[in-house]
Amino acid sequence: MVREEGQETVDQKKLLDDSLHQVKLEAAEMRHCLEKSQLLDALKHASQMLAELRTSALTPKYYYHLYMEITHELQRLELALIDEFQKGNRRPDLYEIVQYASNIIPRLYLLITVGIAFIKLHEASRRDILRDLVEMCCGVQHPLRGLFLRHYLLQCTQNLLPKSLNEEKTEDGTVHDSVDFILANFGEMNKLWVRMQHQGQSRDRERRERERRELQILVGTNLCILPKILVQVVSCKDPIAQEYLMECVIQVFSDEFHVRSLDVFLKTCADMHQRVNIKNVLTALIDRIASYGMTEEGKEIQENYGLFELLSEQIASIVQSRSEMLSEDIVQLQVSMINFALSCYRAHYQFVDKVFATTYTILQGATVPKTAYNCPLGKELSKLFRIPIETYNDVLTLLKLENYGLALSMLDHRGRIKIASCIVMNMLDERTEVNTVEAAEKLLTLLGVLLTDQIDQPRDYEKSDDFVEEQTLVSRMVHLLHSDDRDVHHAIIIAAHKFFNKGGRYRLIHTYVPLIFKAFVLSREYYNNKDEDVAWEEKAKAVFQFIHQTICSLLNETESASLPFRLFLQSALVIDTIPIENREMLAYEFLSQAFAVYEEEISDSRAQLAAIVLITGTLQKMSCFSEENHEPLRTQCLLSASKLFKKPDQCRAVISCAHLFWSGQIAGQSDRMRQGKRVVECLRKGLKIASQCVDPYVQVQLFIEVLNHYICFSEDGCPDITSDMINELIEKVREALVRLEMSSDVEQIQKHFNNTIE
């Protein structure tokens, strides 16, 4: 196939070269005769030159080269004729003489050339000559030769046609004669162009279609009178012709003209052949009108709301009448429509919303299966959904689009996830706060695919990395659900909780935590603004009740005990800083819940040690407990520490409890507890437990840790810790180190010891 095409190109070039050689010879003779004012001889050579255009062997591409060379010479002939007439060498019979040329192609080209010269010289009626020429060109019915002949006629006459509607009727004609001339020429050219597809054998169909597309520009140059041209376009019944000519119409006429004649154009589109790619035609029109609407001259479009309604309704009607139209092409049209709405009617979000409603209706979103994200239709839908997100850059405006979520439901699980994530990322990038309950509920409804399990989600999706990334986005978004009005802020938190509560255990560990911390901040804001709100205490209590319920729900729904445990402790710390009524009771409840979680849910020894240290540290920081409540709490800490399974864990937990008796604070007392004897008891108990460890390496490491605590409390002023105690323990560590065989671990222990006693 490639070899045949290559040979065809060689043959075409040879034929063209032969013809051009003959053209140059005859053109030279013609110019020679013109220099001697021998007009008849010049016309004879021109006729022989034009005879080369009779060929049927050249393809449109090579015929065009030949045509351009010859018409260039014909321009010389026209200028020479005008010059001779102006010199006084007038030959009024030339128009009649050239009609005796033996072949029709040379005859008609010469008729046009001489006729144009006569019009410019006012030797004959312009109207009569134009009418005569357009009729006589009907004598050439070969598509290729006829198209180029009529193109030559149009090019020669385009500046000679009357263009003013106010022109008085004369023998030269009016603008109506110009319209008739152009329409007649256009109609005949279109017929010739369409006829090309029916010539030759069926196996050459592809070649003929290619040649037709090469010639389409010749037909398109006729377009300048819309209504009658549109009738011609529809009547030709040829898809290629209709599509190209409609695109030409869009390019040729002015923007303002398109706006004024939009209804006529759209009705023509509805009548076009089913095989026409109507999407290309309509998107070109919409994009052009949208661009015009953004200019100073096109500002009137922004006030013409009926224009959008007309476009929307007509396009929907056209699309629904084309059952074979690809769904992705339909969506591409809606992409153009939404860009038009956002360009010209940005403040009127109802137009954008109508695009989504129309898309859902046309695609029958309620009945068809979900659209795969990565298929052509899915990609176009995703593009459509992203446009308002990226254009508005404001989720509050996006939430005004009531049909956005409905249309979004047409995508599959992955597609909905992608768009929902895009919305959240836009919120985070723009720092857009959602400050009303209504807006928060709309947002969370729209983001439902991120917040609840879906029927079409993949199996075990909640265990994937993508799931974790999505929930991380949601947790970041929670901090943007905020109102400066504290009561509204509280209501937003409650509303968000209702949505998150349906998310299942895998989501709750991500969504509940930021919600609880927002509640912490809110409780503090109620206290900080207590002078403005007499009911602040009751509201703060309600917040803590919400926090308690949420943590309990998290504990019951999820498999993780560590997170609720830590949240109970954090809640107690927050309550400790806010002097509300029954603060001690509330804080005690949260701490006791933490103890309950520790005892019932935490079984791993390492986690138990970490939990005891956290409880101890929390209680040490709090100052709201009376001795009545503080004593059982610190006792429980020490008791729990003593019950740890592993001796090293027992030792470390017990010595950490010593801080409760030194740094702990009782409500109503300005000083810390400073119970040195109890501190020493804890340290000695820890030392005793360390001595019970069988592993000498672990034992000496624990001795050093206990020593660190002795030194720490001593430096902090504990009178019950003497230097003898410290020296005795130092000596004990040295003796234990001597008994150990040297190794890298021992070196680290020795280094730890040296750092401690320095």
Which domain CATH number covers 686?
1.25.40.660
What confidence score (pLDDT) does residue 199 get?
62
Report whether pLDDT(45) > 80.
yes
Report which of residues 132 and 682 the model is more confident about: 682
188 plus 274 within the same structural domain:
no
Q: What is the mean pLDDT of the chain?
A: 87
Please enumerate in sequence order all residues whose Cβ is within 8 A of that of 213, keeping only pairs 6 or more positions apart, or say none: 240, 244
Report whether pLDDT(222) > 70.
no
Residue 420, in any domain of the structure: no
10 plus 146 within the same structural domain:
yes
Average pLDDT over residues 400-427: 96
- Residue labelled with tokens 């060689």: 10
Lowest mean pLDDT among 2-6, 286-290, 597-601, 703-707: 2-6
Q: Residue 212 — pLDDT band, cuts 50, 70, 90? A: low
- The dihedral through the CA atoms of 171, 172, 177, 181 has a sign that is positive
Residue 614, in any domain of the structure: yes
**Per-residue pLDDT tens digits for 137-153:** 888 888 888 888 888 88
**Per-residue pLDDT tens digits for 428-446:** 999 999 999 999 999 999 9
Please enumerate in sequence order all residues whose Cβ is within 8 A of that of 365, keeping only pairs 6 or more positions apart, or say none: 359, 406, 407, 409, 410
Report whether pLDDT(452) > 90.
yes
Q: pTM (2 decimals)?
A: 0.73
Phi, psi of 481 (to 5 degrees): -85, 90
Domain residue limits at 668:
605-757
Report whether pLDDT(226) > 80.
no
**Per-residue pLDDT tens digits for 468-491:** 999 999 999 999 999 999 999 999
Query: Residue 358's closest CA among 289, 306, 404?
Result: 404
Average pLDDT over residues 358-373: 84
Residue 482, in any domain of the structure: no
Nearest 10 degrees: CA dihedral of 384, 386, 388, 393?
Answer: -170
Report whether pLDDT(544) > 90.
yes
Distance CA 107, CA 341 (A): 56
Average pLDDT over residues 357-367: 84
What confidence score (pLDDT) does residue 576 get?
94
234 plus 213 within the same structural domain:
no
Residue 24, in any domain of the structure: yes
Residue 579, in any domain of the structure: no
What confidence score (pLDDT) does residue 164 get?
46
Distance CA 500, CA 549 (A): 13
Query: Residue 663's closest CA among 655, 672, 650, 652?
Result: 672
Average pLDDT over residues 91-117: 87
Residue 105, in any domain of the structure: yes
* End-of-domain residue from the set 308, 325, 342: 325
Report whether pLDDT(382) > 50.
yes
Distance CA 739, CA 120 (A): 124
236 plus 149 within the same structural domain:
no
What confidence score (pLDDT) does residue 101 get?
84
276 plus 313 within the same structural domain:
yes
Average pLDDT over residues 409-423: 96
Report which of residues 754 and 567 the model is more confident about: 567
Query: Residue 49's closest CA among 74, 16, 86, 32?
Result: 74
What confidence score (pLDDT) does residue 268 get?
82
79 plus 227 within the same structural domain:
no
What confidence score (pLDDT) does residue 64 get?
86
Average pLDDT over residues 61-78: 90
DSSP code per residue over 27-59: HHHHHHHHHTT-HHHHHHHHHHHHGGGG-SSS-
Average pLDDT over residues 418-423: 97
The answer to whether 76 and 31 have CB atoms below 8 angstroms apart is yes
655 plus 732 within the same structural domain:
yes
Report whether pLDDT(625) > 50.
yes
Q: What's the number of domains the chain is made of?
A: 3
Q: Residue 593 — pLDDT band, cuts 50, 70, 90? A: very high
* End-of-domain residue from the set 269, 298, 325: 325
Report the share of the chain in percent with pLDDT over 90: 56
Report which of residues 285 and 214 the model is more confident about: 285
The helix-helix angle for 486-500 and 536-557 (nearest 10°) equals 10
Residue 555, in any domain of the structure: no
Q: Count the Cβ atoms, other than its own, within 10 Å of residue 600.
A: 10
Report the share of the chain in percent with pLDDT over 70: 90
What confidence score (pLDDT) does residue 166 get?
47
204 plus 239 within the same structural domain:
no
Report whether pLDDT(105) > 80.
yes
214 plus 260 within the same structural domain:
no
Lowest mean pLDDT among 19-28, 331-340, 743-752: 743-752
188 plus 249 within the same structural domain:
no
* End-of-domain residue from the set 307, 325, 343: 325
676 plus 644 within the same structural domain:
yes
Residue 558, in any domain of the structure: no
91 plus 212 within the same structural domain:
yes
DSSP type of residue 432: -
Report which of residues 581 and 259 the model is more confident about: 581
Report whether pLDDT(702) > 60.
yes
